[in-house]
Amino acid sequence: MLNKDERNGKFEQAKGRVKQAVGDLTGNKHLHTEGKVDEAKGKVQEAVGNVRHAVSDAADQISKSVKR
């Protein structure tokens, strides 16, 4: 299951791609650039979520090992 950062990061990436497409269709370079920034921000946020997910999984594994 995705955590909040992973989910929000994917949303930001999609939003950025939409802005880029609209910017391309309308010739709006500012909107296209804004979309690129949103997409990059989303990738970073998703990566943070991935790290959090990995740390959480590792902590669960350690907890299970200790309980044995």
pLDDT digits (tens, 9 = 90+) for 9-64: 999 999 999 999 999 999 999 999 999 999 999 999 999 999 999 998 899 889 88
Q: Are residues 46 and 13 in contact, defined by beta-carbon separation less than 8 angstroms?
A: yes
- Total domain count, the chain: 1
* Residue environment code for 38-62, b if the CB has 16+ CB neighbours within 10 A, otherwise e: bbebbeebbeebeeeeeeeeeeeee
Tell me which residue range forms the domain holding 63: 4-67
How far is the C-alpha of 37 from the C-alpha of 51, rounded, in Å? Answer: 21
Q: pTM, whole model, 2 decimals?
A: 0.84
